[in-house]
Amino acid sequence: MSELIEVLTKDGSYSLRSVFFQENFHSLLGALGETKLKFTSTSNLQRFKGKSLNVLDICFGLGYNSASLLDELIKQKSYLNLYALEIDKKPLEYSLSNKSFLKLWAPKVKSIFESLYRKDYFEDQFFTCRILWGDAREKINIIPSSIKFDLIYLDGFSPQKCPQVWTIEFLSKVVEKLNSQGYLITYSSSAAVRKTLRNLGLEIFTIKPYFNEKTFWSQGTVAISRLYKNKLEPNFNLEKLSVMEEEHLLTKASIPYRDQDLNSSKEDIIKKRLNEQLSSNLLSTKKWRKKWGMTKSSLKS
């Protein structure tokens, strides 16, 4: 799982490609840009200025999302309780050895990451940070049930590459951890993921792309409690799902990933979903693409 290839993205920031998953950690357009646009900016961190917040970072990876979060919270003197879930130490080891990555953030971020790598823990007067190494499906159970998160970042490999962290069963555990005014943020615009989050009682928003074209229609998804939707603070990165996106949730692509006992293999999860899709009467994703002038390569379903 740890065989990784260094990738230089177009904004000059470094990322990695997993040989095991056959997928990059970030968009080739820019690792840093993706983190800022999809996660940090969308989080509305200003609302926590001088206050405390709880954050769960699922699939920590190289640490871009947590590093960017920490960097902003240092500037605004906020207090943070962070839990991170990650199965592989190699990406963090890479980040700590990459000077270009470390230069992106305040020096304190490096100290925090070094402590997480060595001791799985960091604490000072502002921040308490923990990283739980192992299968996220198991490690999420270690987090005390009393802790509810203001922000949950879900940044695993895409559903078809790593369905284990996108199933109904795992996402239901994630949603249980979200507080009543919390944001669950992911880069994924998968119909299966969005439909599952909606069925779990959340209101769904799309993260607007920074340029408008048919093959690049969303930067990801933000999910919040339906009870909080009318109190959502203005966020120019978000908007309601378009008609096209809503119709995506009525296709076979919206059929969820299932992992009843939270221990199934990738192959079993994908096979079960494929069988369910084949027997479904829902509109084919191919017809949806054709209607909206989409190409198969533009979608993550």
CA neighbor of 80 nearest in space, from 41, 107, 49, 106? 49
**Per-residue pLDDT tens over the stretch 189-232:** 999 999 999 999 999 999 987 655 555 678 899 999 877 666 66
CA neighbor of 56 nearest in space, from 170, 122, 143, 121? 143
Q: Tell me the C-alpha distance between 248 and 231, whole Å.
A: 27
Alpha-helix residue ranges (DSSP H) falling in 134-284? 136-139, 168-176, 191-199, 243-248, 266-278
Tokens found for residue 259: 């992992």
Tokens found for residue 35: 């983190």
Q: Tell me the C-alpha distance between 136 and 155, whole Å.
A: 12
pLDDT by residue for the chain (301 residues), tens digit each?
569 999 999 999 999 999 999 999 998 889 999 999 999 999 999 999 999 999 999 999 999 999 999 999 999 999 999 999 999 999 999 999 999 999 999 999 999 999 999 999 999 999 999 999 999 999 999 999 999 999 999 999 999 999 999 999 999 999 999 999 999 999 999 999 999 999 999 999 999 876 555 556 788 999 998 776 666 666 668 889 999 999 999 999 999 999 999 999 999 999 999 999 999 999 999 999 999 887 544 444 4
Bridge partner list, 24: 17
Predicted TM-score (pTM) of this structure: 0.94
Domains belonging to the chain, first-starting first, are: 31-298 (3.40.50.150)
Tokens found for residue 48: 């926590």
Q: Tell me the C-alpha distance between 60 and 65, whole Å.
A: 7
Q: Tell me the C-alpha distance between 222 and 236, whole Å.
A: 13
